[in-house]
Amino acid sequence: MRKSLLLVLLALVAGAVSAQSPVPAAPSVGATSYVLTDFHSDSVIADREADARVEPASITKLMTSYVVFSEIEQGRLSLSDEVLISEKAWRTEGSRMFVEVGERVTVEELLKGVIIQSGNDASVALAEHVGGTETVFADMMNEEARKLGMDNTRYVNATGLPHPEQYTTARDVARLAAALIESFPDFYGWYSEREYTYNDIRQHNRNRLLWRDPSVDGLKTGHTESAGYCLVTSAMRDGMRLISVVMGTESEEARATASQALLNYGFRFFETYQLYQSGDELSVERIWKGAADELPVGVAEDLFLTIPRGRYDALEARLEVNGTLTAPVSEGQRIGRLVVALDDSDLVERPLVALSDVERAGFFGRSIDGLRLWVGGLFGGD
């Protein structure tokens, strides 16, 4: 009988270097907290106080737009819908899109006012239109946060204006940024727009890295006196996408410099590979008492891995099958696990699943296999 442990060596990448110097420590940046993650693998490359609760400031507007995008995707809202601007929205303090009370503005215009101009008035207008009141809309924001696993985040308003009960963490913000990129690719391009004009008033995106680094394509700035200067950034180089979240720096320049340093560090010293695709056949296992004798196995989801640059050739993967496989087995059924290791240290584990159905054999087939298993058990064969 085939043993449950199967060693699978990953193919070498052309030009990969077998020897690798130790990865240097992440740069020291002047921020209350930060995190640098890879979008595809969800790996944390660098972090400091990433789970500390902090004031989100206008980073809050990432969730404001996320909720509105969700409403559009579900057919309950349209970009062309017109929103009546209330006096509350018009009077909202802080950064503004400069909408006028009583006028009608489309959802698309307001979204661009939120994303590019960081308009608090636009945020309140959308919140009131979608939720009826900003309070109800905040409940919707919190529900989406719960679904995304943002366990250390709570929203009270749609703007990010200071409130003692509104908080988030750098790690939760990175999770939200990744969800925005993955779930709403048709809207994500707005986060890279450098300016937007409404009512003949042109305003620039406050994300300075959109001008400095061509690989940067989002996402959002934030600032209040109590929160400091914050920046959520995403960048793509050679197919590798990183997300940087920097909270509580001292100035606009400081948040841009810190974010750039983290991104450069991640791209310079790490690389991300797609090791397996969903449905890839990783092995063919013996299955007993079934209409077929063999069962193809693989992973149910794409598997990406972020590792120190130049270490791909040192990766090893092993398949661990849960004992003797016996029919019936359904496609997608977990039958073991895949483990990928580097330098004898396990990096990632994923469920190993059946890639096809195998029905039970008839009485004669089951009887023959039962006899073979019995004999194999007696004499140690397979």
Catalytic machinery residues: 58, 61, 118
Contacts of 164 (CB under 8 A, 6+ apart): none
CA 62 to chain centre: 14
Place of tokens 């109590």: 226
What does the alpha-carbon distance between residue 205 and residue 278 come to, in Å, rounded to a whole number? 38
Task: For 10, list phi and psi in degrees, rounded to 5.
Answer: -75, 145
Inter-residue contact 327 to 361 (CB < 8 Å): yes
CA distances from 289 to 25, 328, 353 (A): 54, 8, 19
What does the alpha-carbon distance between residue 234 and residue 39 come to, in Å, rounded to a whole number? 9
For the beta carbon of residue 322, count every other beta carbon within 10 angstroms.
Answer: 11
Inter-residue contact 306 to 38 (CB < 8 Å): yes
CA distances from 20 to 17, 43, 268, 305, 334 (A): 7, 20, 13, 17, 36
Contacts of 117 (CB under 8 A, 6+ apart): 95, 96, 97, 196, 198, 203, 205
Strand-strand pairing, 283-288 and 325-326: parallel
CA distances from 59 to 55, 62, 143, 349 (A): 9, 6, 17, 33
How many residues are listed for the chain in this entry?
Answer: 382
Contacts of 332 (CB under 8 A, 6+ apart): 300, 353, 354
Task: For 68, list phi and psi in degrees, rounded to 5.
Answer: -65, -45
Q: Nearest 10 degrees: CA dihedral of 138, 144, 145, 147?
A: 150
Token reading at 35 = 């995190």
